[in-house]
Amino acid sequence: MSLTPTELGALLIALSITAYALGRLPKARAVAIFLGVVLLGLSGHLVSIAAKGITILQSLGGTATAWAFGAAVPGLLVAVGGFILIHDVMPKHSAKRRTFWLALALGVIVAAGASGIPALSNLAPATRTAVTQTTSAG
């Protein structure tokens, strides 16, 4: 039996929500929710609704940075969120409950292609391709 990337994404999301509810595996659940949302993409209704909301927050962030700094920084939320996420999952640090929610938000941003950072625009399709090749190779 082979899972499609969409099915694998849904499975990862379900497992990470279960781990969150049980208070177990904080780093693994953050990674699982991020990968699950990226693999699921915008095919799910909840992810597409969240993507619209986060896109609005991204534009507000760009407007706020334009007001504060004189230049819009559209990828500011992704840069700061990514820094905190990487910090929390490093070996000598512990992931907190915020890490789960941050990984979820960053996964939605990457899946929607709304990061404002050009280098991240190919991350979602490349992840889906890698998972497809890996699962079909067996």
How far does Cα 73 stand from its chain's mean position?
A: 19
pLDDT of amino acid 113: 74
Read off the pLDDT band of 9 (50, 70, 90).
confident
pLDDT of amino acid 17: 93
> Model pTM greater than 0.75?
yes
Length of the chain: 138
What percent of the chain has a predicted confidence (pLDDT) above 70?
Answer: 92
Residue 65's φ and ψ, nearest 5 degrees, are: -70, -30
Single-letter amino acid, residue 119 = A
Distances (CA, A) of 39 to 12, 14, 34, 123: 9, 13, 9, 10
SS3 per residue for the chain: CCCCHHHHHHHHHHHHHHHHHHCCCHHHHHHHHHHHHHHHHHHCHHHHHHHHHHHHHHHHHHHHHHHHHCCCCCCHHHHHHHHHHHHHHCCCCCCCHHHHHHHHHHHHHHHHCCCCCHHHCCHHHHHHHHHHHHHHCC
Domain spans, the chain: 5-136
- Written as six digits, the tokens of 74 are 């559209």
Quote the CA–CA distance of 128 and 92 in Å, as a whole number. Answer: 30
pLDDT of amino acid 15: 94
Provide mean pLDDT across the span 116-125: 75
Q: Over the stretch 65-102, which tens digit does the pLDDT of each residue have?
A: 777 777 766 677 788 888 999 999 888 888 888 899 99
pLDDT higher than 70, residue 137: no
Provide mean pLDDT across the span 32-57: 80
